[in-house]
Each structure stands twice: as structure tokens, then as C-alpha cells.
Amino acid sequence: DGGITQSPKYLFRKEGQNVTLSCEQNLNHDAMYWYRQDPGQGLRLIYYSQIVNDFQKGDIAEGYSVSREKKESFPLTVTSAQKNPTAFYLCASSTGGSGNTIYFGEGSWLTVV
């Protein structure tokens, strides 16, 4: 079945460690996104990528990094510079262009202790 796979679903890390969240899609979508969902804050855009080897900062990119070496993969690294990393992270993809629809992964819960 086509879809978006995020892993791991739950992750615990110690403060000061970098952690990478995986996002893979087999929908042949050009555009991919990372959001962070916090209570009362909605979904805030961290980074997005319209095409392979290109990505743009979203509204809260500080403390995060991404890469887009392959069309189907858009990993997110939460670095030790992120001041409040504990959150629910959602990956999404879309076909891009007009008439596009957004597809979401199931999310990853990151807890930093």
C-alpha cells in the first residue's frame, strides 16, 4: 500500500543528544514536510522540500536540520540546540502544484529527558 512511514513511533533521548526521525514515502510525491504538533499550537512547519536536493526553512527551523537526498526520504534531525524538543512530530507529503492534497505519516513522539 502507498503511504508515508515514520519511525520510530516513540523515542526517548537524553538532553544534549542529537536524534534523527525517519520519514519515507512511496507515493512518488515531490513535496515533503515536517511539522511539530504541540497542544494549543496546532501544526507548526519546521522544514519543507519541494524537490530532491532542495529544502526550505519553515516557521520554527531553529535547532533542526533535514536532508533530501532521495525523493522518497526526508529525515529530520533534532539537534541539541533545539531548546524544547519534546513533542509530536508529523511528516507529510504532497504532489505539489495546484490541486495537491496532503498526506500524513502516523507521527513520532520524541521525549527528551
Partner 1 sequence: AQSVSQHNHHVILSEAASLELGCNYSYGGTVNLFWYVQYPGQHLQLLLKYFSGDPLVKGIKGFEAEFIKSKFSFNLRKPSVQWSDTAEYFCAVILEYDKIIFGKGTRLHILP
* Residues in contact with partner 1 by the rule CB under 8 A: 31, 33, 35, 40-45, 48, 50, 56, 58-59, 90, 92, 94, 96-102, 104, 106-107
CB of 101 vs partner 1, minimal distance in Å: 7
Nearer of residues 13 and 107 to partner 1, judged by Cβ: 107
d(CA 29, CA 25): 8
Residue 85, φ and ψ in degrees, nearest 5: -80, -15
Nearer of residues 60 and 80 to partner 1, judged by Cβ: 60
14, three cell numbers: 537524553
Nearer of residues 26 and 100 to partner 1, judged by Cβ: 100
The CA-atom distances, in angstroms, between 98 and each of 14, 44, 48 are 42, 22, 17
Cβ 112 vs Cβ 85: under 8 Å? yes
CB of 47 vs partner 1, minimal distance in Å: 11
76, three cell numbers: 529530520
CB of 51 vs partner 1, minimal distance in Å: 9
CB of 59 vs partner 1, minimal distance in Å: 8
